[in-house]
């Protein structure tokens, strides 16, 4: 893919996994990419960023716009996940999940909006999840944030559309990264878990970070110019196949 020559992008949480693949994909398409993360990137220019801290967000966005003269693309990828039954959910954990997964994308979009509007090609891509619409066990906080991200995406698209800025989300299914290691590691045989997960997917495998990155690059650029306010599922078909009893499937 190409067509992002001259565009400047921030990818939050771009130091590893899905965010790193997105940063690589945007750079391969010609964009100047700056990663904002709690940890450094080995590959791309990187600024320290805590998306839950408004001062940190404002500093990161302002630095990129000042250093590179423009800001065209924001990918709100930084996120965390943990498992807690609703009856045991403590307030601090709940607040932390919301601050990073939901408030973070709002703060990034708020501070980036004036810059994104300057050149008429602004694009925000949020990382939602299939768990924005259906949920795994003990994921009340995570599910709430991802449902929120889907709503935030639509609201942002409506608010910023008149200034020429689009906002979309991707909703990945199971992508093999450290984020879901807690789930996988509850079973002693990782390969067996991945094999069983693969059987849930009509495409026959779990996802890779690049599967998400390719769609994000498309949403970031002009080929998707009339697409806004959408949540695009990237799950190998997993969620369109309702479960059958084991003896039939």
Ligand X SMILES: NC(=O)c1ccc[n+]([C@@H]2O[C@H](COP(=O)([O-])OP(=O)(O)OC[C@H]3O[C@@H](n4cnc5c(N)ncnc54)[C@H](O)[C@@H]3O)[C@@H](O)[C@H]2O)c1
Residues belonging to the active site = 142
Nearest approach, Cβ of residue 124 and ligand X (Å): 14
Write the CA distances from 88 to 98, 137, 140, 164, 214, integer angstroms.
Answer: 17, 13, 11, 44, 38
Cβ-closest residue to ligand X?
79
CB under 6 A: which stretch of 23-31, 37-45, 225-233, 239-247 binds ligand X? 37-45
How far, rounded to the nearest angstrom, does the alpha carbon of residue 138 sit from its chain's CA centroid?
Answer: 21
Out of 78, 97, 112, 152, name the contact with ligand X by CB under 6 A.
78
Return the number of the residue (19 or 221) whose C-beta is nearest ligand X: 19
Part of the chain binding ligand X (CB under 6 A), chosen from 2-10, 58-66, 79-87, 187-195: 79-87
25 contacts ligand X (rule: CB under 6 A): no
Residue 75 found at the interface with ligand X (CB under 6 A): no
Rounded to the nearest 10°, the torsion over CA 93, 95, 97, 98 is 160
Stretch that binds ligand X, among 71-79, 106-114, 182-190, 215-223 (CB under 6 A): 71-79
CA 213, 9, 39, 127 dihedral sign is: negative
| Backbone conformation region of residue 128, classed left if phi is above 0, alpha if psi is from -120 to 50, else beta | beta
CA angle 186, 187, 188 (to 5 degrees): 120
Residue 12 or 121: the one with the smaller Cβ distance to ligand X is 12
Q: Any contact of residue 233 with ligand X (CB under 6 A)?
A: no
Calpha distance 134→1 (Å, rounded): 32
Which H/E stretch holds residue 12?
strand 8-12
Site residues (vs ligand X, CB under 6 A): 12-13, 15-19, 37-39, 49-52, 77-81, 100, 127, 129, 172, 174-175, 177-180
């Amino acid at each position: 893919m190409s067509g992002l020559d001259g565009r400047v992008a921030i990818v939050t949480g771009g130091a590893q996994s899905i965010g790193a693949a997105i940063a690589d994909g945007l750079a391969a398409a010609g964009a100047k990419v700056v990663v904002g993360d709690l940890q450094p990137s080995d590959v791309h220019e990187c600024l320290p960023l805590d998306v839950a801290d408004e001062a940190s967000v404002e500093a990161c966005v302002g630095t990129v716009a000042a250093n590179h003269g423009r800001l065209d693309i924001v990918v709100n990828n930084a996120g965390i996940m943990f498992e807690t039954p609703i009856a045991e959910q403590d307030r601090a954990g709940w607040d932390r999940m919301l601050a990073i997964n939901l408030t973070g994308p709002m703060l990034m979009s708020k501070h980036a909006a004036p810059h994104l509007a300057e050149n008429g090609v602004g694009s925000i891509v949020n990382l939602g999840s299939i768990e924005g619409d259906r949920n795994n066990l003990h994921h009340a906080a995570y599910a709430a944030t991802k449902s929120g991200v889907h709503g935030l995406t639509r609201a942002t698209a409506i608010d910023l559309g008149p200034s020429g800025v689009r906002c979309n989300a991707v909703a990945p299914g199971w992508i093999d990264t450290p984020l879901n290691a807690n789930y996988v590691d509850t079973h002693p045989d990782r390969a067996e878990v991945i094999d069983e997960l693969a059987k849930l997917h009509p495409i026959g495998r779990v996802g890779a970070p690049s599967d998400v990155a390719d769609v994000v690059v498309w949403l970031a650029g002009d080929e998707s110019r009339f697409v806004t306010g959408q949540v695009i599922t990237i799950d190998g078909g997993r969620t369109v196949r309702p479960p059958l009893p084991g003896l039939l499937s």
